[in-house]
Amino acid sequence: MTEEITYADLEFNKCYALENIPKPAAPEEKGLPPSCPTWRLAALTFLTLCLALLVGLLILGIMFFQVSSDFQQQIRNLMKKQETLHTNFSTRLQDMKDNLCLKGEEKNKNNGPSCILCPVNWQWMGGDTCFYISMQKKSWEESRQFCSLQNSTLLMLKDREKLNHVPPRDKSQYYWIGLHKSESAGWLWEDGSDLLTEKADWIGSYQFYRCGYLHGLMISNHDYCTMKHFWICEKAVFKLST
C-alpha cells in the first residue's frame, strides 16, 4: 500500500512539474522589433521610385534642351527664308518698275523720283493723266458708261493746255468728250463744273445738240448724242515712288 501511494505521488509530482515549466515569452511580449524584411522592402521601393523620378527628370531635361535647340534652328531658318524672300521681292519689284513704269517726274513732292503707271491700252503724254482712245464707235451715253466702268470719265478739256497732252489721234474723226447740256444748268463737264466760253478760240459754236465732241483741236456739238463716234476717256495716273 505504501509503495502504491509513493508511485502515484511520483507520477503526480512529475506531471505537476511538467505543467509548471515556464513557457518562453512571445516576441511581441518581449518588445522585439517587427520583422526586418518588411522595412527593407518599403525602403527599396521608395529608392526605386526616387531613381525612376530622377531618370524621368533627366530625360525631360534632355528633351527640353533638344526641342529648344530645334526651335531656335527653325527660327534661324525662317529668318533666312524671310531675308531671301525680301531680296527676291525687291528684285522682282525693281524688274517690274523697269518694265512697266513710264518715265515719271525727276523729283516728286517726296524729293524722290516717281514712277508713272497707266492701265494696259492707256496712254500717257506727260502730266498726271492717263488717256484711252477708243478703236470703235458708240453713242455719247454708251461712251460715258464705258469710261465709268473703267473708273474714269470722258475727257474734260477745261483749258487749252490740256489739249497738248491728249495722245495723237485721227484729227478728221469726232471723239465724244465729257461735255453735255443740262436742261436747268446749261453746259456742264462730267464733274458738274460749268463750261467757260469767254475768249475760248478752241471752243466752237453751239447748236441745239446736247453732247460735245472733240474734232481736231476744237470742241463742238454739231451732232446728235445718239450718233456713233469714237471717244476719249481720262483718269489720274498712279504714281509709285522709287
Are 140 and 206 within 8 A, CB to CB? no
Residue 189 CA to residue 212 CA, distance in Å, equals 10
Q: Is the dihedral of CA 180, 186, 188, 191 positive or negative?
A: negative
Residue 42 placed within a domain = yes
Domain holding 213, by residue range, is 114-241
CA distances from 213 to 154, 185, 202, 228 (A): 10, 19, 12, 11
Q: Which of 100, 135, 166 is the last residue of a domain?
A: 100
DSSP designation for 184: T
The predicted pLDDT at position 6 comes to 52
The predicted pLDDT at position 125 comes to 86
pLDDT of residue 233 exceeding 80, the answer is: yes
CATH number at 126 reads: 3.10.100.10
CA distances from 14 to 3, 24, 178, 210 (A): 16, 20, 150, 157
Q: How many CA atoms lie within 13 A of 66 on its CB side?
A: 6
- The whole-angstrom distance between residue 33's C-alpha and the CA centroid of its chain comes to 77
Residue 13 CA to residue 8 CA, distance in Å, equals 8
96 and 53 within one domain: yes
120 and 223 within one domain: yes
Higher pLDDT, 14 or 128: 128
Catalogue the long-range contacts made by 194-197 (C-beta closer than 8 Å, 24 or more residues apart). Answer: 196/158
pLDDT of residue 67 exceeding 80, the answer is: no
83 and 119 within one domain: no
Split into its structural domains, the chain has a count of: 2
- Lowest mean per-residue pLDDT among 24-33, 108-117, 225-234: 24-33
Q: Which residues contact 221 (CB under 8 A, 6 or more apart)?
A: 179, 181, 204, 206, 207, 209, 210, 211, 212, 213
Beta-carbon count within 10 A of 167 CB? 13
The predicted pLDDT at position 42 comes to 80
Alpha helices (runs of H) in the chain, residue ranges in sequence order = 2-19, 36-100, 140-149
pLDDT band of residue 192 (cuts 50, 70, 90) is: confident
pLDDT of residue 90 exceeding 80, the answer is: no
Report which of 232, 239, 139 is spatially closest to residue 190, judged by C-alpha positions.
Answer: 232
96 and 152 within one domain: no
208 and 172 within one domain: yes
The predicted pLDDT at position 110 comes to 42
What would you report as the CA-atom Rg of the chain, rounded to the nearest whole angstrom? 55
31 and 133 within one domain: no
C-alpha cell at 55: 531618370
Beta-carbon count within 10 A of 199 CB? 6
- Lowest mean per-residue pLDDT among 53-67, 114-128, 198-212: 198-212
The predicted pLDDT at position 204 comes to 60
> Which residue type, as a one-letter code, is found at position 27?
P
Q: Which of 100, 132, 152 is the last residue of a domain?
A: 100
pLDDT of residue 16 exceeding 60, the answer is: no
What does the mean pLDDT of the chain come to? 77
137 and 60 within one domain: no
pLDDT band of residue 217 (cuts 50, 70, 90) is: confident
220 and 120 within one domain: yes
pLDDT of residue 225 exceeding 80, the answer is: yes
pLDDT of residue 122 exceeding 70, the answer is: yes
Residue 210 placed within a domain = yes
Residue 154 CA to residue 7 CA, distance in Å, equals 156
pLDDT band of residue 29 (cuts 50, 70, 90) is: very low
DSSP designation for 126: S
Q: What are phi and psi of 177, to 5 degrees?
A: -125, 175
120 and 58 within one domain: no
122 and 96 within one domain: no
Residue 38 placed within a domain = yes
Q: Which of 100, 128, 157 is the last residue of a domain?
A: 100
Q: In 136-220, where do the E strands start and end?
A: 153-154, 174-182, 186-189, 211-215, 218-220
160 and 54 within one domain: no
The predicted pLDDT at position 108 comes to 43
Residue 175 placed within a domain = yes
68 and 151 within one domain: no
The predicted pLDDT at position 111 comes to 45
